[in-house]
Amino acid sequence: MAKSKRYGIKFPFNVLSPEKTMVDLNTNKSDSVRSQIMHLIFTPVGQRLRKPTFGSKLIQYIFEPNDDSTWSDVVSEIKSMISSNIPNCTLNDINVYEADEGRSLVASIDYTVTENGVATTSKIMTNL
């Protein structure tokens, strides 16, 4: 049986792995980068042991006004955290807009990952 390459734990966590492992693992670089981005977005700075600068400061915007100024601050926070923590990810575009009649924000992150000379473009849409 050939060994398959794994790229870390998938985020969000799932214990129903098809390979019968304890947790579900990423099978390619693109999935790994997606998991890393999601992990960064939902981890507040200072929460991760031995990596005090890992994570985002998005929690500070929870009670800020839902306007263009806050949205641009959220976009710049996402750009800076991804560029400093995920070196093999190239950001193409980030859009932030309101949802649920102004009660929540949605981030659309378009990025490119290069693996073995092949560029793969992906998009993440998530509630913040």
pTM for the full predicted model: 0.78
Split into its structural domains, the chain has a count of 1
- Whether the per-residue pLDDT at 23 is higher than 50: the answer is yes
Note the pLDDT tens digit of each residue in 42-67. Answer: 899 988 888 888 889 988 888 888 88
The CATH number given to whatever domain includes residue 43 is 3.10.450.40
Where in the sequence is the domain holding 103, given as residue range(s)? 29-127
Please check whether residue 4 lies inside any domain of the structure. Answer: no
Residue 42 belongs to some domain of the structure: yes
Amino acid at 41: I
Question: Has residue 68 been placed in a domain?
Answer: yes
Q: Residues 111-125: pLDDT tens digits?
A: 999 877 888 899 988
CA distance linking residue 10 with residue 1, whole number of Å: 23
Q: Is residue 109 part of a domain?
A: yes
Contacts of 97 (CB under 8 A, 6+ apart): 71, 105, 106, 108
| Residue 52 within a domain | yes
